[in-house]
Chain A
Amino acid sequence: MNLTLSEFFAVGAVIFAIFMSGTIQLRTNLLLYAIQTLLVGVVTAAFYLASNESQYLWLALVVILVKAAGISLFLAWVLRRINVFRDGATYLPIPIAMHVCILMLGIAHFLADRLPAPPDQSLHLQAGSAESGIALVLIGTLFMLTRKTAVSQIIGFLTMENGIYLFTLAQAHGMPMAVELGILLDVLVGVMVAGVITFRIQKSFEHIDVTQLRDLRD
């Protein structure tokens, strides 16, 4: 197999995401999330090397600083505050969850082969990255689906967001800078709010198990 630099890092991000679904230690989850996001940032930097467009470099910096470092530190702080470090129980046993993740990667590979080619072929790096993007979205959803604590939901959501980001990067060579930064800001604010709400849940219910929040419907 002949991987380009960016594809290599993108697939690496997926592998770390699969690792992430292999542990119930929330701090390890966070660490693996941070590495995965770092790799996504590196993919962006690889795009800069291939295309020499400075916007990718800036984007890479922002992704690494805000998403990989900032959000991870914030969530680690939240965990310390509410004094929860383990995900109680998962819906799927860990080994099966990891295998399903690998299955998702397979589905993503199958899908990415059938995608329409992006308009600009010059960078030759889309296939692997698009595949990783789809895989990250699916793995993130699966992560949210199998875990029970509120913090895990946030991490799963962030993984999905990474997947979407990677996919647009591969398929459309990224969105305009302004849109990209806007989405980043959205995610940042979303995570902040979710973190604060996690405090409130912990304070009100003395747990952060979202499966108990069943009556929130009409």
Chain B
Amino acid sequence: MAIVAVATIVLGLLVPLISPNKTSNKVLSAVLLTFALIIIYLGVVAFPETRLLQLPQPFYLGLAPFVFRFDQLSSIFLVLLGTLTAAVSLYIPGYLKHHDGSPKSAAFWINLFLFVLAMASVVVAANALTFLLYWELMSLSSALLVAQDLKTRSGRRAAFIYAGATRLATAFLAVGFLAFGNHFQSWSFSDWHPEEPALLPPSILILLGLSIKAGLWPFHIWLPYAHPAAPSPVSALMSGFMIKTAIYAILRIFVLDTALTPAVALVLLCIGAVSAVWGSLFALVQEDLKKVLAYSSVENIGLITVALATSMYARSAGNQALADLAMVAAVLHCINHGVFKALLFLCAGSVDIRTHTRLLSRLGGLGWKMPSTMLLFIAGCACICALPPTNGFASKWLIYQSLFKSLSLAFAPTDQEPTSLLFVLVIGCLALTSGLTIAGYTRAAGMVFLGRPRSGDSAHAREADREMILAKTILAGLCLGLGIVTPSLANLFNIRLLPTLPLPVIAVFFLLTVLFLYLLSRAARERGEGRRVDSWECGYGSFNGRTQISPESFSQPVAYLFRPILLYRMNSDITGADRRHFPDKIRSETSMKSLLETSVYKPIVNLFVNAGKHLARLQAGSVHMYLLYVLCSLVGLLLVGALL
């Protein structure tokens, strides 16, 4: 196995060197597919027993050796990564062929290989330094993948925001890791047991760094910028796997074999719940299809964090069985979300390359042109809305189960009323989230695939290539399959508390509901008289792309309800002589801004930009000015050093 692992690394590093410019995309994607299959193989082989793999002497990180650890947790993540990469590798050639303003092929492939290699290494890194090294590689290569299109303002902005977020995350992580390494006199994750109260500050730093990467509220700000800018297959990997590496690290450092103070767990619980509601709410009102998906990643990371926090809380309360259940729920939701979010991103990519737009207000009616893509997208939506019997339902159900069970745990000691109240609130938030998610994805699928085209581009779209459909079909099949095998997957971990999931009953019930709704709608249609257009056309004549429901109008009721958070504003302007009955012109304008972005991040960024402008004056261009700086700082530092 060691040989295979080393061969993988060598392969990953060699491919960029074989000058991707001259090789065709198909060959490179075949290599990527092989790479993905090797990763899956490694994951499967490593599952039964834990193995350590240390690189020989010349490869050394200064303070610690390169060590990789293959155990159950990392092999689950490896298999997920391999699966997603395999699907993406099938998808890419078709995507690149039709992508307008095609990304620079050589840079794209090099970064993609490095990205996959780094992600695979992050989840098997056994010590902090190896982890940090690959974490950096992952951040940088993904930042370069996001920065494909630097010519447009939005592309530059996305690259800037994403690069800033990754720098911040790495800085926090590095400081926290240094403190931990110093305290435990070891860099190995297995030696780290951060229960002691003295280790709380570095633990919080590490959690901060990881939550920036995971996209937890309020650090989710980079997701809605990075995803629309990145090519769709890259978004699929980033959202499907990269943000999960942060969850993996939280699991590895703070959940397995350690128990943080309950306070941290409860704070994480709240943040997770807020992320879930926030993400689903913003997903509902976005204009850009990929921003919808990006915000829904925030929501799902929130759900996963809720499960993680429940696990931490249960462990600190001494209830091991419940802790295991919640942890399994978190891991399973990671897997499931990875699969269906990748599916949705790939579908969004197909829509993008066929219509050259991602704006919901310009799409519509694609169901007739791209039937397979529509079916697959709706399958993904069903998963993400957690409709049984899909995998989204199975893992969300486990999350709810663990929350309900921890409710009884929180109620048990009578003096913990506030805590139990908190859990009730979180359950409420999750229920709200589910509702908002269903609304959001109904809107997304409806606006893209149903109705009539809202622009010429979407009227002339064609179905995606066969390979792309194949990639998506694999993922969709996995979604359904995982829904059915999730209970048995959970059994792999010997969870004592695992409740039996009456999946067939639920599925049958669900299918009956669908059937009932279908018959109802059919009966309604048959009874209806059809459309007749009056002579004076007060029925507004026949329908066209502009008379159907628009994305804004669909989400308006909810947006209005949450207007303080969304900063939602709507201005209607009706003009005409008798404007009540015969208006000449009706103008209606809605605007929405993110509260966090405008009132928290913007001032901070502006402060830095302005400070940077003033500091730039220091760069006078004169050698003598620079020497003066050198002399002054030299004398100053020496004096400070001598006087302190």
Q: Which residues of A contact B (CB under 8 A)?
A: 91, 107, 110-111, 114-115, 134, 137-138, 141-142, 144-145, 153, 210-211, 213-217
Contact = CB atoms under 8 A, between A and B. Distances in A.
Contacts of A134: 638
B642 A137 contact: no
Nearest to B643: A114
Contacts of A141: 627, 630-631, 634
Interface stretch (B206-214, B590-598, B618-626): B618-626
Nearest to A144: B627
B635 interface: yes
A126 B631 CA distance: 24
A114 B642 contact: yes
Contacts of B620: 214
B640 to A, nearest CB: 11
A153 B623 CA distance: 10
Contacts of A144: 624, 627
Contact of A216 (B621, B635, B642): B621
B577 interface: no
A72 B638 CA distance: 31
Contacts of A211: 622-624
B624 A137 contact: no
Contacts of A142: 631
B624 A217 contact: no
B625 to A, nearest CB: 9
A107 B627 CA distance: 18
Given A137-B634, A138-B631, A145-B624, A217 B619 contact: yes
B3 interface: no
Contacts of B635: 107, 138
A137 to B, nearest CB: 7
A214 to B, nearest CB: 4
B1 to A, nearest CB: 43
B424 to A, nearest CB: 58
Given A111-B642, A144-B624, 13 more contacts: A107-B635, A107-B639, A114-B642, A115-B642, A137-B634, A141-B630, A141-B631, A144-B627, A145-B627, A153-B623, A210-B624, A211-B622, A211-B623
Interface of B: 619-624, 627-628, 630-631, 634-635, 638-639, 642-643
Given A214-B621, A217-B619, A138 B634 contact: yes
Given A110-B642, A114-B642, A215 B627 contact: no
Contacts of A107: 635, 638-639
30 contacts: A107-B635, A107-B638, A107-B639, A110-B642, A111-B639, A111-B642, A114-B642, A114-B643, A134-B638, A138-B631, A138-B635, A141-B630, A141-B631, A141-B634, A144-B624, A145-B624, A145-B627, A145-B631, A153-B623, A210-B624, A211-B622, A211-B623, A211-B624, A213-B623, A214-B620, A214-B622, A215-B621, A216-B621, A217-B619, A217-B621
Task: Name the residue in B619, B630, B638, B643 with the highest tally of chain A Cβ atoms < 10 Å from its Cβ.
Answer: B638
A142 B631 CA distance: 7
Contacts of A138: 631, 634-635
Q: Secondary structure of the A side of the interface?
A: helix
A156 to B, nearest CB: 8
Contacts of B634: 137-138, 141
Contacts of A210: 623-624
Nearest to B638: A111
Q: Secondary structure of the B side of the interface?
A: helix
Contacts of B642: 110-111, 114-115
A217 B630 CA distance: 18
Nearest to A156: B627
B511 to A, nearest CB: 65
A193 to B, nearest CB: 16
A137 B620 CA distance: 24
Contacts of B619: 217
Contacts of A137: 634
Nearest to A142: B631
Contacts of B639: 107, 111
> Nearest 4 pairs between A and B by C-beta?
A114-B642, A217-B621, A145-B627, A214-B621
Contacts of A214: 620-622
Contacts of A91: 624
A197 B49 CA distance: 64
A217 B627 CA distance: 15
Task: Name the residue in A137, A141, A145, A216 with the highest tally of chain B Cβ atoms < 10 Å from its Cβ.
Answer: A145
Contacts of A145: 624, 627-628, 631
Nearest to A210: B623
A113 B471 CA distance: 73
Nearest to A107: B635
A117 B278 CA distance: 60
A173 B619 CA distance: 38
B634 to A, nearest CB: 7
Contacts of A115: 642
A217 B626 CA distance: 12
A111 B634 CA distance: 12
Nearest to B627: A145
A148 to B, nearest CB: 8
A153 B642 CA distance: 29
Contacts of B628: 145
Nearest to B623: A210
A31 B276 CA distance: 76
A45 B372 CA distance: 86
Contacts of B643: 114
A161 to B, nearest CB: 14
Contacts of A114: 642-643
Nearest to A215: B621
A216 B621 CA distance: 6
Contacts of B621: 214-217
A104 to B, nearest CB: 8
Contacts of B623: 153, 210-211, 213
A153 B620 CA distance: 18
Contacts of B624: 91, 144-145, 210-211
Contacts of B627: 141, 144-145
B493 to A, nearest CB: 56
A144 B627 CA distance: 7
A71 B302 CA distance: 67
B173 to A, nearest CB: 31
A134 B631 CA distance: 12
Contacts of B631: 138, 141-142, 145
B26 to A, nearest CB: 41
A199 B620 CA distance: 25
Contacts of A111: 638-639, 642
A163 to B, nearest CB: 11
A216 B620 CA distance: 10
A144 B624 CA distance: 7
A216 B624 CA distance: 13
A112 B643 CA distance: 12
Nearest to B630: A141
A216 to B, nearest CB: 7
A110 B624 CA distance: 26
Nearest to A145: B627
A166 B320 CA distance: 65
A145 to B, nearest CB: 4
A19 B631 CA distance: 20
